[in-house]
Amino acid sequence: MPSAPVAAAPAVHTPVHADSLTLHPDRFFDPDPAIRRAARAVYDETRALPLICPHGHVDPWLLANNAPFSEPTALLITPDHYIVRMLYSQGISMESLGIPTRDGVPVETDPRKIWQRFAEHFHLFRGTPTGVWFDHELHELFGVRVKLSGATASVIYDQIAERLTSPEFLPRALFEQFGIEVLATTDAAGDTLEAHQLLRASGWSGRVVPTFRPDAVFRLASPLWRSALADLEARYGSPITSYASFIDALVSRRAFFASLGATATDHAVVVPYTRRLDQPSRDRLFSAALEGTATADDQHAFEAHMLIEMACMSTEDGLVMQLHPGSLRDHHARVFDRFGTDKGADIPVVTEYTRNLHALLNEVGHDPRLTLILFTLDESAYARELAPLAGHYPAVRLGPPWWFHDSIEGMRRFREQTTETAGLYNTAGFNDDTRAFCSIPARHDLSRRMDANFLGGLVARHIIDLNDAQVLGHALAYDLARRTYRFDAPSAASPHTLREAR
C-alpha cells in the first residue's frame, strides 16, 4: 500500500497576488451528479492500491545509485520531452532549455534560468495532461500551494530544492512512498544490465525488472546496426556470424533478462507488418547486413519475420510481447542532427493491424502461452480493428492509451470505443510509460480517476451496478496489469531448445 504523503514543507514566502494551487477532489469526474457519485465510490476503492508499472523508461541507475537528485530543473524539466516539445512549438529554443547538443554548441547551464523560463510559459500547459501531472507533482509531492508562474518560480524552485536534500526524497524512498509494487525499465538486447544486478545485490526490497527490447539489432539497414550487434556479441560471449548464431544469441539474452526478473519484451516498429521468411531468405538478409549491403526493403522484410520469431520465442520462455507501432521517429531532421533522439519530434502515422498481423496471429495467436499486447497511436483503429482482434484471439490484449493519447480525453475515447467489443478483461490495465520518475503517481491517479468515471457512467445508466463497477475498477487499476505482465508467475531463467520449424 502507498505510504502516507511526505509532510508538508516548512512555510515559505508567498509572492504577493499569487493564485493558490488546489486539486479538486472531484477532478476529471463528470458534472452529472449520478455519474460523479458512482465515480467517487469506485475511485475510493482504487486510489490507494499499489502501483504496477510494467512498461516505462526510468533509468535503472537512478535506483541503483540512490543518489540525491541534484536540483529541480534536472529532475522535472530537462529530461521530459512532453515539456520540451510544447515549449519548442512556441519558439523557445532547446539550447535555452539546457538540452545538450551533439555538436558541442553551448547551451544554457543555469538551472534557475531554465526553471524561470519554463515557469513564465507554464500557461501553455493548461488543459493538457502535462499540466495536470505537473500540478499533481507540485501539490502532492512537494507541498507547493501556489500556482507556478514567472512570479512564483523562484520561491517554488527553492521549496523543491530544499526538499530534495532530505532522505525522504532519495529515489528508493520515493519508490516506496509512491507505493510502487514493481517497476519495469526498458533495456537494449546488448545492455549489460549492470544496474539491475547491483539492485539485486544491494538487498533492497524494491522490485525493479528489465524489459528486453531488441529493436536495434533488427534494423539491418541502420548505420547503428553494427554497433548494436557488437554489443549483443559482447554480452553473448561469441561472434555472431550467421542468422542461426543470431537467433541463439537472442534466446540466450532473453533468458538472462528473465533471470533478473524480466517478464516482457518490447518492440517498436513504424508498421506492424509480419511475414515468415524461408530459411534461404533470412540467411541471405542477415549476410547482406554483415556485408553492409542491406537495404531498407531488406530491413522491412527482416523486421516482419523477427516479430514472428519473437512471438514464437515467447511461447517458449513465457515473456509477454509488447508491440508499439505507428510512430515515425525523429521526424524533424534538424532537431535530430543537433540534439539526437527523444526530443519530441516523433509523429504518429496511420496504422493498419488486421492484414499486417495476419501471419503472426495465424501462427501463434491461438496459443495460450503467448500474450501479445498491442498499442496504437492511431485511434481510428480502436473500434475497427484492435477491439475485434482482442475480442477473438486468445493471445491478444490491448495496451492502454499510449503517448499522445495518455490523457483525459484519450482514456475516455479508448474505453468508449473498445469496451463493447473487447470487454475490459482483454485490456492490459494501465502503464505509465514515462522517463519522469516523479510523475508516476500523478499518471496512475489520472488513469484511476478516468476509469472510475467511465464505470460511473455505466452505473448511472444502469448497465452495471456499483458493486460490479468497484470490482472492475480494482481490475483496471491493479489486477489486469499484474496478471497480464505475469508478475505473479515464476520467471523463465534458461534457454529453450529452438524449434526445428525455424
For 84-105, the pLDDT digits (tens) are 999 999 999 999 999 999 988 8
For residue 466, being part of any structural domain is answered with yes
pLDDT of 491 higher than 60: no
Please check whether residues 375 and 431 belong to one and the same domain.
Answer: yes
Residue type, 274: T
Residues 177, 160, single domain; the answer is: no
Edge to edge, the sheet with strand 208-209 lists 51-53, 180-184, 208-209
477 part of a folded domain: yes
Residue 198, pLDDT score: 98
CA-closest candidate to residue 347, choices 56, 81, 77, 57: 81
Asked if residue 264 lies in contact with residue 319, where contact means CB atoms within 8 angstroms, the answer is: yes
Check residues 324 and 339 and name the one with the higher pLDDT: 324
Residue 227 domain flag: yes
In this structure, the answer to whether residues 332 and 415 fall within a common structural domain is yes
Is the separation of the CB atoms in 62 and 199 below 8 Å?
no
How many structural domains does the chain have? 2
C-alpha to C-alpha distances, 411 to 33, 36, 127, 210, 372, nearest whole angstrom = 21, 17, 15, 27, 21
Residue 7: band (very low, low, confident or very high) from pLDDT cuts 50, 70, 90 = very low
> What is the C-alpha separation between 227 and 69, in angstroms, rounded?
32
pLDDT above 90: residue 170? yes
User: Where would I find the beta strands (DSSP E) of 309-406?
Assistant: 320-325, 327-328, 347-348, 372-374, 396-398
Residue 358 pLDDT more than 50? yes
What's residue 104's pLDDT? 87
Kindly state whether residues 154 and 242 are assigned to the same domain: no
- Chain segment 370-381, per-residue pLDDT in tens: 999 999 999 999
Rounded distance between C-alpha atoms, residue 62 and residue 141, angstroms: 18
Q: What pLDDT was estimated at residue 492? A: 43
Claim to verify: residue 219 and residue 162 sit in the same structural domain: no
**What's residue 222's pLDDT?**
96
pLDDT tops 50 at residue 405: yes
What's the rounded Cα separation, in Å, for the pair 448 and 430? 9
Q: Do 470 and 41 touch, CB atoms closer than 8 A? A: yes
Domain-embedded: residue 457:
yes
- For residue 465, what is its C-alpha cell? 451496478
The pLDDT mean for the chain works out to: 93
Closest by CA to 431, choosing from 481, 380, 483, is 481
Q: Which residues contact 247 (CB under 8 A, 6 or more apart)?
A: 309, 498, 502
Residue 4 domain-assigned (yes or no): no
Query: Cell 504577493 sits at which residue?
Result: 16
Residues 248 and 389 in one domain: yes
Please, what is the Cα angle at 460 between 477 and 443, to 5 degrees? 25
Q: What is the C-alpha separation between 116 and 11, in angstroms, rounded?
A: 21
Instruction: Please name the residue ranges forming H helices in 23-79.
Output: 33-46, 60-65, 72-76
In a domain, 445, yes or no: yes
| Residues 307 and 267: beta-carbon distance below 8 Å | yes
pTM across the whole model: 0.93
Q: When comparing pLDDT for 6 and 326, which is higher?
A: 326
Q: Answer whether 406's CB lies under 8 Å from 413's CB.
A: no
Is residue 489 one of the residues assigned to a domain?
A: no
Whether residues 142 and 218 share a domain: the answer is: no
Give me the CATH number covering residue 434: 3.20.20.140
Phi/psi of residue 389, each to 5°? -65, -45
